[in-house]
Structure 1
Amino acid sequence: MSYLSFHLVFLVPPILGMMALHRRPRQMGNDLRVDLAIPVVCLIALTYTTPWDNYLVAQEVWWYGANRVVGTIGYVPVEEYMFFVLQPFLTGLFLYQYLHRSPPVPKAHSSWASWTGAAVFAGLTGLGAFFLMDGRPSTLYLALILVWAPPILAGMWLYDGETLWALRSSVFVTTGLPTLYLWGADTVAIRSKIWTIAPEYTVGASFLGLPLEEALFFLFTNLLVVQGILLFLYGSHKAFAPEKETRLSIP
């Protein structure tokens, strides 16, 4: 299986299916943010991930199989750049399907949520920084993930953790299910040698058959997508409230 075939099998069909059955989140009406949220997150994902992933490949933390890609830009296969866009579309469209069927409901305001969520992800960032300074090859991939994704997640919770906590059930479901799906797809890709994770740069632990680092990568990236879209749609700095109480407008 080539990297392009991987996209055509695992990513393109569900994306096209959800686009054909496209549903807008309830309570949002014709709000322009619904149309902008996924493309904006895709653009951010492409911009933020490109230098990080190029560094990983340059350091041979992972590499792609011979004759499995159509070409490279920098160190990274063209299909990898496609993945930076396809994954947010996949997860974002799933989130919209969920928000249409299970619209958010008001939750009690939790003033501690922002600081607690930010502290958790800041702690993970600190752990990654420690691993980098320690310099052990076996923790390199884990360290690079922890200093890349958790700082942004911490910033999201610091920015408006009240809203994210109010929408926690949406975060849990729409992060969890796409992550499980992508874990399965990643397992197939590794076994097919579309890409290979360097064992010397991993801690050696596995989760559901995947290297721990790969499992964390898909968990964190889907969290970034889901939380980013939810903040784009509902961020208010005062937790989610019904549309009739908070008709939000684009700043």
Structure 2
Amino acid sequence: MVTLTYVGFHAVFVAPPLFVLASVTANRERSARSVVRTVPVVAILALALAYTTPWDNYLIHRGVWWYGEGVVAGRLWLAPIEEYLFVLLQPIVATLWLALVSESFEWPRKRITMTLRDRLLGVVAAAGIGVAGLAMLTWPATFYMGAILSWAAPVLALQWAVGWRYLVARWRLTAIGTLAPALYFAATDRVAIHYGIWSLSERYTTGLTVGGLPIEEGAFFVVTTLFVVQGLVLYPWVIERWR
């Protein structure tokens, strides 16, 4: 079987879409420049790295997943160096994709506001996800899914409290901006598992798959891409309201 390293994974599956999207959006006057220039992307990347690193390393320590022999260049804490690079590159790809498609969607015509009741509803909805995740942590087979949901809940609570009504108003942009990168990275994750770059524990996963991909991995990419897209969609609306 052909050997694929984690560095090779980046070269084959992460670098090409990043290069293509960067090249295309660089030539667009209204797409990339309207998103990339006005959004503190560096702050988003820093937050992604800071929030993901402890969670990622804990799950490696717990044995939820591990890496093949000789497929990583080195480790920082318990995670491979390439893992941290992936945490940074995935949001960049999602940002460029959103920038590319955003010009095809109109801004909401009516002014959207969030009442205190609306904000509480957003927090409650996210809290429901968090509670479900915490419950799943108590069973080995749902541990990984529970870890994903309970980890996602605080970020979703913040974003939905800020502007879930605005996200609903722009649901088409949010959905397309999220699903395309999430599906792409989920498909590449399936390839990485096939080549043994990383493997998932049977004990801590449900065993349910879609096209050979564990549903937990699919959920992870949907959630992490949603973090980025919702933040980017909300940003100009929040700034406009502050002004």
Q: TM over 0.5, yes or no? A: yes
Residues 107 and 118 (structure 1 numbering): CA distance in 2 closer, same or farther, change over 3 Å?
A: farther
Question: Deviation digits for residues 190-230 of structure 1, max 9, x if unmatched?
Answer: 00110001111011212332111111100100100101111
> Hey, what does 2:66 align to over in structure 1?
63
1:43-62 correspondence to structure 2 within 5 Å: 43-62=46-65
Q: Which residue of 2 aligns with 1:21?
A: 24
Q: Does 1:145 align with 2:143?
A: no
When you count helix as a share of all residues, which structure comes out higher? 2
Q: Which string of whole-angstrom CA distances, capped at 9 and with x for unpartnered residues, describes residues 37-66 of structure 1? A: 332211110110001000011111100111
Residue 120 in 1 paired to residue 120 in 2?
Answer: no
Structure 1 residues 80-108: Cα deviation after superposition (integer angstroms, max 9, x where no partner):
00000000000111000011333433357
Question: 1:35 Cα shift?
Answer: 4.5
The letter of the residue matching 1:162 is R
**Counterpart among 164, 173, 186 of residue 176 in structure 2:** 173
Which residue, out of 186, 203, 217, partners 1:183?
186
Q: 2:13: which partner in 1?
A: 10
Contact 2:59 2:65 in 1 (8 A): yes
CA distance, structure 2, for counterparts of residue 29 and residue 57 of structure 1: 38
Q: Quote the offset at 1:114 in angstroms.
A: 4.7
Contact 2:39 2:232 in 1 (8 A): no
Conserved in 2, the CA contact under 8 Å of 1:104 and 1:170?
no
State how far apart, in whole Å, the 2-side matches of 1:89 and 1:58 are.
27
User: Which stretch shows the higher mean deviation, 94-103 or 113-122?
Assistant: 113-122
Query: Is the 8 Å Cα contact of residues 64 and 200 (structure 2) preserved in structure 1?
Result: yes
Secondary structure in 1 aligned to 2:37? helix
1:41 maps to which of 34, 40, 44: 44
CA gap 1:98/1:19 in 2 versus in 1, 3 angstroms: same
Aligned to 2:205: 202
Distance 2:167 2:238 in 1: 8
Gaps of 5+ in 2: none
Give, in angstroms, the shift of residue 13 of structure 1. Answer: 1.0
State the Cα RMSD in Å: 2.4
Among 127, 131, 134, which residue is 1:129 paired with?
Answer: 134
> Would the alpha carbon gap of residues 24 and 218 (structure 1) be closer, same or farther in structure 2, given more than 3 Å must change?
farther
Deviations 1:5-52 (A, max 9, x none): 1111111111111111224656x9778x73543322111101100010
Percentage identity across paired residues of the two chains:
35
Q: Which amino acid aligns with 1:102?
A: F
CA distance in 2, matches of 1:34, 1:103: 19
Number of residue pairs matched by the alignment: 236
Query: What is the deviation of 1:116?
Result: 4.7
How many angstroms apart in 2 are the aligned matches of 1:181 and 1:107?
34
Alignment partners' CA distance in 2, 1:47 and 1:161: 24
Spell out, residue by residue over 1:160-201, the C-alpha distance to the aligned partner (whole angstroms, 9 max, x if none): 212212211111111011111111101100001100011110
SS of equivalent to 2:103: helix
Letter in 2 for 1:14: P
Q: Secondary structure at the match of 1:63?
A: strand
